[in-house]
Structure 1
Amino acid sequence: MLALLVTALASLGTAALASPSYANTTSLADLALQKVLQDAAPMFGNYAASNATTASWMASIADSTKIVHMNIPGVHDSATWNYSVATQDSLDHVTALDGTTPAPPEYYRCQEKSMIDMLNAGIRVFDLRYAFDTTNSTLVFWHSEALLSETATVEDVMFGFYRWLDDHPTEALFLSFQYESSTTLYGTSDAAVQLELFATLTSPAAQKYILQTKDQFGTLGEARGHITLLRRFDFDQLPAEYEAAIPGVHFSPALWTDNSPDITLVYNSAKNLTAYVEDFYDTNGPMGSNASLNIQWKYNATTAHIQKATTMYPDSLFWTWASSEYTSNIPPETPKMMALGNGTAYTPLGGVNQRLIPFLRQQKGKRVGMVMFDFFDVPSNLVQTLLDI
């Protein structure tokens, strides 16, 4: 960590050190951390601690509470919040290097609030999609062929999470890492990518903040102040000792059924520990099916899985993804339309998010598990409704 901070400090330069934003900083480590957080800002947002009750909502929950018994809000494709026409245009010169042509930004954008805003609003599970940049040398964030930032690296963003945990030690975070394929023409999860991710997630700083347990969920007391890795990636291009050394819960992509409303995934065969997952992200409706129908089909899959969580397998993890799209239609049902509706008579009940509010209120006192949202901040009481169950 010290080496990284010193390198970051050196990159500040004399002018930056003299600037007002650094004038009151007295510690060498503080200066370097400010530089790292500045680099992370296009993905993490501008760092700010918060006294909002949602920023420390876990403080009132007993240490003995099992993670699998909790109701925890999360966000799908969290790094897409800053992906706009302006972002896409600013990165065209990079993505053009290997001939990729992203679709319009609304096909990829799944959030509108920054990661720091998500944290302060109560979000505790983050879906993070990584791959090499176009030079095949640095881990950055993508959504399919959409490069989300040229400069904010995965390691930079991790320091944002570390700093936030320092400010909110009662909280526990869950970071889901997934290799994003279909990024560049020659992008692949090869040994170099896997080595870079391994180095990032096992650095001295990572070892301090990432919970060093493997393939099991414990209690909130054990998880407080730490990150639990949800590993939706394999180290299949590396020697076996790398897999043995990486902490976290392994959800192998080979076992995660694509576009399924009902996934049963054993993540610890020795102890027969199983996760139940709903990830029905593309409704696959027939051409011409309208937005209201597609939203209804997604809502049905999401609520069916949450109902299962309230009644079945109380000591297993339930992980529900309320996120979706149906871009085969013209015009497409983008993630935003599926989550929020389009404000017209075509979606009279709104999107999945609006429909979930009364449903979640009916689950008072029950376990619903982890629930991942697109555009989590609309309606404004969506996250609080889940926390109030």
Structure 2
Amino acid sequence: MDLRLSKPLINTCFTLESDLEIVHGDFPASLTAPVKLSAVLQDIFEFLTAHPTESIVLSMKHEGPFSYEATDLANILLSSSCPTYFETLHRDQWFLEPRIPTLGEIRGKIVLFRRFSCDSEDIPRLGIPASWTYNTTGETSVSLLEVPMLAVQDYSELQSRADIPLKIEYIIQHVNRAAADVNENTLYLNFTTGSNLWYLACWPRRVAKHTRTPVADVFPGASGKCGIVILDFPELDRWNLVKLIIERNSQFQS
């Protein structure tokens, strides 16, 4: 799950700076009413309580019209005025260590992907450092103390329809990288998503439709883990690619 966070977009005499809202770019997630981080987290906690064998990887970063100092978001999330975030309520439903866990460790928990800065003393309690290069094609990894932790393909800003075959190539290359890597401490993230709102052919659903079959075709008969493969509109092929991903990764579960 990918959450972009902002200070409250509309301030009143009752507004707390710590009452973070969900946005996308400079725009609110909903035009009818603010979507609060606390409310989204409560929904996640309830889901995990009802489904204790599941896990949710939660990416957080700051966006919105307000500027932040480097560690502002970390300080807000760790503030004593925000017990619903990390420190008090549902503490046992977070995995906040700066390392890649096994699936057995995180069942029933949220794994935090920290896509924001924090002070060095806060690193041990603010999850996996996950700030990667924009539009990365997957060749480089994200490291902590020179230890590779994440390998990410997130080539998302397509210039035209001609970039869709290139996107497909990057997705497949990253699936193959994951399969070839025997390092169990590196987690592979492979975004099949991409868009350009100024070109109809590159709207998210159309990109998803064009990428689905070529990517699915590389799975049958292949071996090795494929990492986390992120999909838009996973139902487009009647969940076929989702089933192939689960089947491929299930042999490595712990």
Task: Check the 8 A contact 1:139/1:193 in 2, yes or no.
Answer: no
Task: Check the 8 A contact 1:174/1:227 in 2, yes or no.
Answer: yes
Aligned to 1:324: 194
User: Which of 174, 180, 194 matches 2:57?
Assistant: 174
Q: Give 1:354 deviation, angstroms.
A: 3.2
Q: Are 1:384 and 2:243 counterparts?
A: yes
Q: Are 1:375 and 2:195 counterparts?
A: no
Q: Are 1:197 and 2:77 counterparts?
A: yes
Inter-partner Cα distance in structure 2 for 1:167 and 1:274: 30
Task: Check the 8 A contact 1:279/1:321 in 2, yes or no.
Answer: yes
Q: Give 1:193 deviation, angstroms.
A: 4.2
Task: Check the 8 A contact 1:131/1:141 in 2, yes or no.
Answer: yes
User: Which of 249, 255, 275 matches 2:128?
Assistant: 249
Aligned to 1:222: 105
C-alpha distance after superposition, 1:308-338 (max 9, x if no partner)? 1111243221111111113454x46212221
C-alpha distance after superposition, 1:148-201 (max 9, x if no partner)? 133321111111111111111112221111222xx32xx123465443333353
- Counting matched residue pairs gives 233
User: Which of 27, 42, 47 matches 1:146?
Assistant: 27
Write the letter of the residue equivalent to 2:218: F
User: Which of 130, 133, 152 matches 2:5?
Assistant: 130
Inter-partner Cα distance in structure 2 for 1:250 and 1:370: 16
Q: 1:313 to 1:282 in 2, by over 3 A?
A: farther
Higher helix share: 1
Inter-partner Cα distance in structure 2 for 1:274 and 1:195: 24
Supply the RMSD in Å over aligned alpha carbons.
2.3
Aligned to 1:335: 204
Inter-partner Cα distance in structure 1 for 2:163 and 2:5: 29
Q: Are 1:265 and 2:146 counterparts?
A: no
Local SS of the residue matching 2:151: strand
Q: Give 1:223 deviation, angstroms.
A: 1.2
Q: Give 1:204 deviation, angstroms.
A: 1.4
Higher Rg: 1
Aligned to 1:298: 167
Q: 1:259 to 1:140 in 2, by over 3 A?
A: same
C-alpha distance after superposition, 1:230-289 (max 9, x if no partner)? 111112xxx554x246331112x3xx211110252343316x2332111111134xxxx5
Inter-partner Cα distance in structure 2 for 1:132 and 1:217: 29
Identity within the alignment, %: 22
Inter-partner Cα distance in structure 2 for 1:388 and 1:209: 26
- If asked which structure has higher relative contact order (CA below 8 Å, sep 6+), I would say 1
Ranges in structure 2 where 5+ consecutive residues have no aligned partner? 12-16, 249-254
Local SS of the residue matching 2:234: coil
Task: Check the 8 A contact 2:192/2:231 in 1, yes or no.
Answer: yes
Write the letter of the residue equivalent to 2:77: L
User: Which of 356, 359, 378 matches 2:218?
Assistant: 359
Q: TM-score, normalised on structure 1?
A: 0.55
Q: 1:308 to 1:240 in 2, by over 3 A?
A: closer
Task: Check the 8 A contact 2:156/2:193 in 1, yes or no.
Answer: yes
Ranges in structure 1 where 5+ consecutive residues have no aligned partner? 1-125, 341-350
Write the letter of the residue equivalent to 1:304: Q
Q: 1:192 to 1:178 in 2, by over 3 A?
A: closer
Aligned to 1:90: none
Task: Check the 8 A contact 1:335/1:374 in 2, yes or no.
Answer: yes
Task: Check the 8 A contact 1:294/1:326 in 2, yes or no.
Answer: no
Inter-partner Cα distance in structure 1 for 2:123 and 2:245: 36
Q: TM-score, normalised on structure 2?
A: 0.81
Aligned to 2:178: 309
Q: 1:153 to 1:302 in 2, by over 3 A?
A: same
Inter-partner Cα distance in structure 1 for 2:168 and 2:62: 27
